Amino acid sequence: MTDKGVPVRRVLFSVALVLVAVLAQAKEYGHYDIRGIFSLSEAADGQHSVTFNVPSLDQILGDVGAHAENYPPHFDSIDDRQRAERDVSGIASLMDPMAGNFSHSPELLLRLGYLHTLGHNLDLAGSDKKAVAAFTALLTLSPDDRRGNFRYGMFLAGTTKVADAIPYLEKAKSLGVLAADFPLGMAYTALGDKAKALENLESYSKRVPGDENAVKMIDAIRRGNVEIKHVSP
């Protein structure tokens, strides 16, 4: 497991040839009222309970993820990015104090881990350690959670803890997550394992033949034109 107390830096790939950038297509980030994510109720005995509106939470996470699932994030405007940062920070301020109560809820731990993955990509302080804590709790509770293994592997693959990402992504792939092939290819590239990198990226390219980035990355790996750069948080 990754040390929960050690911040992780990001890793970027620089290709000597021109690599097509993966950009959000000028799509505006939405406007949300994060107060609608959960409701508080009081029972007759005075005990309070919290109910999460998971579809509303997923809608916001999906929109932020469309812009910030990978680093660096891409937004149509500075205002959009700042609004996304406020939403992620606001949701975290609501969920983090209750994280201890998620010990029997893989679904909420999964979303908390992904929330802090997005926060990390948005440069929100402390998000890296919170993502690690949430995913660790999730996979301790449910080691074969396919989405948990995939999301945690994706998070680690974008940091200098790339070697730690491999077991989670490989497990996700073995559990049927086909989308694990691309991050696996990038992770093996970062580790200098050309054969494994090409195996996974070529698998992805066959599955998604229209992705020019994969074709260019495969060509760059074959030519040895890939440089790995570490970026401080």
Beta bridge partners of 226: 15
**Residue 50, φ and ψ in degrees, nearest 5:** -115, 135
213 falls within a domain: yes
Say which DSSP state 27 is in. P
Backbone angle region of 77, left / alpha / beta, with phi > 0 → left and psi within -120 to 50 → alpha: beta
Look at residue 49 in the predicted model and tell me its pLDDT: 74
224 falls within a domain: yes
1 falls within a domain: no
Look at residue 47 in the predicted model and tell me its pLDDT: 63
Query: Can you read off the two tokens belonging to residue 103?
Result: 């010990």
Q: How far apart (Å, rounded) are the C-alpha atoms in residues 173 and 149?
A: 9
Residue 156 sits in a domain whose CATH number is 1.25.40.10
Look at residue 177 in the predicted model and tell me its pLDDT: 97
Look at residue 127 in the predicted model and tell me its pLDDT: 96
User: What 3-state DSSP class applies to 137?
Assistant: helix
Q: How far apart (Å, rounded) are the C-alpha atoms in residues 233 and 230?
A: 10
Contact yes or no for 90/34 (Cβ under 8 A): yes
Query: Can you read off the two tokens belonging to residue 87?
Result: 């939403």
pLDDT over threshold 50, residue 37: yes
Look at residue 158 in the predicted model and tell me its pLDDT: 85
pLDDT digits (tens, 9 = 90+) for 48-75: 678 899 999 999 999 999 999 988 899 9
The H or E element containing residue 230 is strand 226-231
* Residue with more model confidence, 5 or 212: 212
Look at residue 193 in the predicted model and tell me its pLDDT: 94
Domain total of the chain: 1
97 falls within a domain: yes
Contact yes or no for 1/8 (Cβ under 8 A): no
pLDDT digits (tens, 9 = 90+) for 125-165: 999 999 999 999 999 999 999 999 999 999 999 888 899 99
Domain containing 185: what range? Answer: 10-231
Q: How far apart (Å, rounded) are the C-alpha atoms in residues 196 and 54?
A: 37
Look at residue 18 in the predicted model and tell me its pLDDT: 36
Cβ density class 146-178: b for 16+ within 10 Å, e for less: bbbbbbbbbbbbbbbbbebbbebbbbbbeeebe
pLDDT digits (tens, 9 = 90+) for 174-187: 999 999 999 999 99
Least confident of 79-83, 111-115, 220-224: 220-224
- Which residue, chain included where needed, has tokens 């070697």? 163
5 falls within a domain: no
- Which residue, chain included where needed, has tokens 């908390």? 112
Average pLDDT value over all residues in the chain: 87
pLDDT over threshold 90, residue 45: no
3 falls within a domain: no
Based on C-alpha coordinates, what's the Rg of the chain?
19
